[in-house]
A and B are shown apart, each in its own frame.
Chain A
């Protein structure tokens, strides 16, 4: 029962705070010989598996490291192009680590803004009068909860689908935001939140929520 991450989005749709509480490490390292039976391709400045899913290596997984050295985008740690390196049979046997690519901070910014728009479209396409935007989005692996305040700030929490008490947690995060960010005289509204006390209190609120399984009101 885990809370994966917290995002705070401002009125304009820009990400102002992001915290990853738990990122599951789903990585597989294997040694390969020439020729490589996986088909790799360039995607978004990374090298990802496009065909040949097997042994825990799935389509969409990115190349994370070659022979123990972390890759740098499309190139190996030494600066050589990965696809060229893997075509050359003299480089084999080679040990490659595959896994889900971590989101870069740019990608997180883009995803937060994307959600901001999807939230609004959810309200526009409503078949009922007076609907809010998307408050909860469910997949088989995680549940995304969103709370929009009256001032347009959105608090977004990604958690395990079975985790309960997220509504109370969202209200608690709002309380922490108003106590440690808004009341901070050096914090400007709608700007990225860089307040230590906000980070600390947010972390302890997440711990309490995870331990208790649900977050009790009034603490």
Chain B
């Protein structure tokens, strides 16, 4: 039961924040390329889902799963995208991501007069609170490396 990593993207595709807790395998490309690939994949999945869907959707794409991990997705109406990779035992992390947005991002970044929106988030308070929050999640347990 674990969280692998978390990405936060803004509406233009810039990666504002990335952190990993339990990642076993790197993507084999540089971090910048990985952010672009991740954003591109999500953009394509959203477009794919809106065309394929047999009915009108309200929330759209929620998550996908492979044999080893599950990717959870949450997008705010302002275009901010929260992406979390966890293992398969976590079925719904949407509320977690919503909590990260409303209680951590809005509190420590948006309300911070020094943080410029649209640039990488370098607020230490945000990072430490987010780290503490993730470690306190019921589905997070550090596995022996």
Contact of B55 (CB < 8 Å), options: A100, A114, A115, A135 = A100
In this complex, how many residues of chain A approach chain B with their Cβ under 8 Å: the count is 40
Are A142 and B66 in contact, with the CB atoms below 8 A? no
Say which one of B41-49, B102-110, B123-131 lies at the interface with A. B41-49
Known A121-B37, A124-B28, A137-B45: A131·B54 in contact at CB below 8 Å: no
Q: How far is the CA of A107 from the CA of B51 in the complex (A)?
A: 9
Q: How far is the CA of A4 from the CA of B49 in the complex (A)?
A: 14
Contact of A139 (CB < 8 Å), options: B41, B59, B67 = B59
Are B66 and A123 in contact, with the CB atoms below 8 A? yes
A-B contact count (CB 8 A): 119
Are B64 and A138 in contact, with the CB atoms below 8 A? yes
Q: How far is the CA of A219 from the CA of B91 in the complex (A)?
A: 30
Flag whether A166 is at the interface (Cβ < 8 A): no
Known A26-B56, A107-B51: A140·B62 in contact at CB below 8 Å: yes
Are A121 and B41 in contact, with the CB atoms below 8 A? yes
Q: Could you say which residues of chain B place their CB within 8 Å of the CB of A129?
A: 24-25, 68
Flag whether B57 is at the interface (Cβ < 8 A): yes
Flag whether A118 is at the interface (Cβ < 8 A): yes
Are A114 and B44 in contact, with the CB atoms below 8 A? yes
Closest to B4 in A: A127
Are A140 and B58 in contact, with the CB atoms below 8 A? yes
Q: Could you say which residues of chain A place their CB within 8 Å of the CB of B5?
A: 127
Flag whether A136 is at the interface (Cβ < 8 A): yes
Q: Could you say which residues of chain A place their CB within 8 Å of the CB of B50?
A: 60
In this complex, how many residues of chain B approach chain A with their Cβ under 8 Å: the count is 40
Are A139 and B56 in contact, with the CB atoms below 8 A? no
Q: Could you say which residues of chain A place their CB within 8 Å of the CB of B45?
A: 118, 137
Q: Could you say which residues of chain A place their CB within 8 Å of the CB of B66?
A: 122-123, 126, 131-135
Are B51 and A24 in contact, with the CB atoms below 8 A? no
Flag whether B61 is at the interface (Cβ < 8 A): yes
Contact of B56 (CB < 8 Å), options: A5, A100, A118 = A100
Q: Which residues B89-112 have CB closer than 8 A to chain A?
A: none
**Measured between C-beta atoms, what is the minimum distance from A162 to chain B in Å?**
14
Q: Could you say which residues of chain A place their CB within 8 Å of the CB of B85?
A: 127
Q: Could you say which residues of chain A place their CB within 8 Å of the CB of B53?
A: 139, 141-142
Are B65 and A135 in contact, with the CB atoms below 8 A? yes
Closest to A61 in B: B56
Q: Which residues A107-127 have CB closer than 8 A to chain B?
A: 107, 111, 114-115, 117-118, 121-127
Q: How far is the CA of A80 from the CA of B48 in the complex (A)?
A: 31
Contact pattern, B 67-92, Cβ under 8 Å of A = 1, otherwise 0:
11101000000000000010100000
Q: Which residues A152-174 have CB closer than 8 A to chain B?
A: 158
Are B69 and A126 in contact, with the CB atoms below 8 A? yes
Chain A residues with CB under 8 Å of chain B are: 4-5, 22-24, 26, 58, 60, 100, 103, 107, 111, 114-115, 117-118, 121-142, 144, 158
Question: Could you show 18 A-B contacts with beta carbons less than 8 Å apart?
Answer: A103-B52, A118-B41, A118-B44, A122-B71, A126-B25, A126-B69, A127-B20, A128-B4, A132-B66, A134-B66, A135-B67, A137-B49, A137-B64, A138-B62, A139-B60, A140-B57, A141-B54, A158-B54
Known: A4-B54, A58-B56, A137-B65. 15 other contacts (CB 8 A): A125-B37, A127-B20, A127-B69, A128-B4, A129-B24, A130-B67, A131-B67, A133-B66, A137-B63, A138-B64, A139-B62, A140-B58, A141-B54, A141-B56, A158-B54
